């Protein structure tokens, strides 16, 4: 069936067609813009995903390094405490050694007086060696304890630095996650808008194409030359015309049509049509035939359509039986939808 033809003149249809052309162009541009924005969001999401992977890996690495440094610092604290205890022990031993050394030295002085000087000198040398060794061991333990304390402080500083880096990486990961969520939400909005604009663009193009077809069919109907048509050609022309106007059409032409060449229907109203392609005026016989066909085919109305004219008698009887007459000068009005049947 041909596209439904409304009752507006061709100029109005051309204006609407031009407006639809502009709307189609705008819709196509809008679809392209949204598609570009949507592709940008997809690229951003890929970048944020890659950035998130990097931040998560960095956070894991920093976490492992911080744990190792914390373990080292804890071990250093334990060693420092152990060294401190060892230093105190050595200090106590050193004190004992000093006292013993003093006692022995006093005894050695007494022996020096009572005995030969050679033995006293030997004992004194041994005692001074013991005192010197104890003092040297005590000083060395203090030095080592100081180095260990410095190493522990360095590890604690490194652990704090790595912990700050881990916190910064975790914050960067959180920021990237928030950006990713916002980008995904924007992508969903753009995808929805893209689908809506695509549907609107498709509808506009369908309307435009239908209007183009309708306008082309309209000009075809208006450009036909009835002088070159035979009777059957005229009936087929009227069939196409009424289909263009939105009627369902049933051709009855030929022998035994009982005065109705076409039966048309729209909105529940049936009309029988007598088609007369003549070079002379159509008489009242055609009106009588189609009026009889109206009853036979159970139609609500009847009409005679010709490319020529009607006689006075045909006009009079048509008025009496309420039959619509459409001559050659009115076919253009019928095409424009200005005549209702």
**In Å, how far are 25, 64, 76 from 215, measured between CA atoms?**
20, 76, 93
Task: Specify whether 142 is located in the same domain as 89.
Answer: yes
pLDDT computed for residue 307 by the predictor: 93
pLDDT tens figures, 279-332: 899 999 999 999 999 999 999 999 999 999 999 999 999 999 999 999 999 999
Q: CATH number for the domain including 252?
A: 3.40.1350.10
CA dist., res. 183 & res. 197, Å (int) = 20
Consecutive H or E run containing 271: strand 269-276
Listing from the earlier edge strand, what are the strands of the sheet with 269-276? Answer: 248-251, 262-266, 269-276, 301-306, 324-326
Q: CATH number for the domain including 20?
A: 1.10.287
| Number of domains composing the chain | 2
pLDDT truncated to tens, each residue of the chain (341 aa)?
344 444 444 566 667 777 777 887 887 787 788 878 878 877 878 887 787 777 777 777 777 776 776 676 676 667 666 656 665 565 556 556 555 555 555 555 555 555 545 555 556 655 655 655 555 555 555 555 566 667 767 867 877 787 787 778 778 778 877 887 888 888 888 888 888 888 888 888 888 787 778 888 888 898 888 888 898 999 999 999 999 998 999 988 666 667 899 999 999 999 999 999 998 999 999 999 999 999 999 999 999 999 999 999 999 999 999 999 999 999 999 998 888 88
Alpha helices (H) along the chain: 10-114, 117-222, 231-244, 284-296, 312-321, 331-335
Q: Is residue 190 part of a domain?
A: yes
CA dist., res. 191 & res. 88, Å (int) = 76
| Residue that is last in its domain, among 208, 235, 264 | 208
CA dist., res. 131 & res. 5, Å (int) = 126
pLDDT computed for residue 144 by the predictor: 57
269-276 vs 301-306, strand pairing mode: parallel
Task: Specify whether 84 is located in the same domain as 204.
Answer: yes
Domain of residue 77: give its range: 10-208
pLDDT tens figures, 195-204: 888 888 888 8
Q: For the whole prediction, is pTM greater than 0.85?
A: no
CA dist., res. 218 & res. 251, Å (int) = 21
Query: What residues contact 332, with CB distance under 8 A and at least 6 apart?
Result: 222
Task: Specify whether 255 is located in the same domain as 150.
Answer: no
Q: Which residue has the tokens 């010197």?
A: 132
Q: How many CB atoms lie within 10 A of CB 10?
A: 14
């Amino acid at each position: 069936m041909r596209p439904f033809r409304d009752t507006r003149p061709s100029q109005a249809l051309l204006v609407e067609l031009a407006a639809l052309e502009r709307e189609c162009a705008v819709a196509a541009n809008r679809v392209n813009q949204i598609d570009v924005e949507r592709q940008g969001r997809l690229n951003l999401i890929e970048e944020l995903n890659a950035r998130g992977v990097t931040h998560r890996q960095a956070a894991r690495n920093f976490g492992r390094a911080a744990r190792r440094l914390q373990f080292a610092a804890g071990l250093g604290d334990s060693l420092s405490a152990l060294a401190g205890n060892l230093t105190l022990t050595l200090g106590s031993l050193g004190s004992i050694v000093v006292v013993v050394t003093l006692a022995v030295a006093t005894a050695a002085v007494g022996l020096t007086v009572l005995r030969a000087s050679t033995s006293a000198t030997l004992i004194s040398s041994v005692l001074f060696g013991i005192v010197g060794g104890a003092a040297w061991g005590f000083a060395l333990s203090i030095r080592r304890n100081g180095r260990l304390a410095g190493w522990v402080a360095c590890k604690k500083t490194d652990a704090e630095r790595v912990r700050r880096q881990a916190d910064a990486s975790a914050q960067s990961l959180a920021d990237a996650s928030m950006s990713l969520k916002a980008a995904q939400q924007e992508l969903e909005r753009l995808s929805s808008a893209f689908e809506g604009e695509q549907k609107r663009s498709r509808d506009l193009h369908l309307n435009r194409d239908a209007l183009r077809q309708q306008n082309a069919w309209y000009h075809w109907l208006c450009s036909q030359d009835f002088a070159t048509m035979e009777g059957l050609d005229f009936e087929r022309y009227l069939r196409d015309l009424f289909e263009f106007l939105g009627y369902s059409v049933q051709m009855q032409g030929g022998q035994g049509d009982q005065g109705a060449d076409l039966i048309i229907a729209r909105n529940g109203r049936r009309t029988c049509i007598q088609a007369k392609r003549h070079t002379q005026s159509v008489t009242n016989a055609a009106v009588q035939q189609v009026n009889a066909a109206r009853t036979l085919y159970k139609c609500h109305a009847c009409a005679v359509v010709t490319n020529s004219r009607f006689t006075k008698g045909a006009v009079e009887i048509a008025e009496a039986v309420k039959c619509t007459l459409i001559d050659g000068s009115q076919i253009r009005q019928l095409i424009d939808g200005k005549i209702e049947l």
